[in-house]
Amino acid sequence: MTGRIATCLWFNGRAEEAARFYVSLLGGSIDAISRYPAEPPPQAPFPGGTEMLVEFTVMGQRFQILNGGPHFTLDEAASMCLTCKDQAELDARFDALTAEGGSDGPCGWLKDRFGLSWQLVPEAMLDMQKSGDGAGVQRMMDAMMGMRKLDIAALTAAFQGERA
């Protein structure tokens, strides 16, 4: 079987702006931009020339943003999960994604300025979850539940049974 798969995100405008932001933040490329025809059909949600579908690649993954109009909205039912190697990377990604109208949420989740939900997950947290230490994982998860942006030192201290 052959084929390609891409995640398609439904937006109500700003598709090209969002794709360019994700490419600039995470590295990658804008692969194609299709636009609404000069004389779009009456049911088209945007005027002619507006980007309709933006195809792009970030971190080796293919994505599309469809400027489909207000019929559907992004929500936390689907999110981008980005692994971060350390606190410096997590902080930089968090700051960039919450800038200009983004917002932080509980347990390290956030929404960017376009309404897309993200989880920034430290590699250390993944290692702790795989450790087999159920009590440590529970303490780490309890600590995480009280956080907005994740604090790797505090999560590690909780996992080890220490205070941060």
The CATH number covering residue 53 comes to 3.30.720.100
Answer whether 0.85 is exceeded by the pTM: yes
Largest Cα span, the chain: 65
Q: Alpha-carbon distance 118 to 19, whole Å?
A: 15
Which residue among 67, 88, 118 closes a domain?
Answer: 67
140 & 84 share domain: yes
Instruction: Provide the pLDDT for residue 131.
Output: 97
**CATH code for the domain of 105:** 3.10.180.10
Q: What is the mean pLDDT of residues 85-102?
A: 98
Q: What are the phi and psi torsion angles at 110 (to 5°)? A: -155, 165
Residue 127 lies in a domain: yes
- The pLDDT tens digits for 94-137 are 999 999 999 999 999 999 999 999 999 999 999 999 999 999 99
Residue 138 lies in a domain: yes
- The pLDDT tens digits for 44-75 are 999 999 999 999 999 999 999 999 999 999 99
**Helix or strand holding residue 35 (H, E):** strand 28-35
88 & 139 share domain: yes
Per the structure, how many domains does the chain have? 2
Residue 53 lies in a domain: yes
Q: Is residue 2 over pLDDT 80?
A: no
Q: What is the mean pLDDT of residues 140-157?
A: 97
50 & 105 share domain: no
Residue 128 lies in a domain: yes
102 & 30 share domain: no
149 & 91 share domain: yes
CA neighbours closer than 13 Å in the CB half-sphere of residue 13: 5
Both tokens of residue 111?
């929404």
* Domain coverage including residue 15: 7-67
Which residue among 27, 46, 67 closes a domain?
Answer: 67
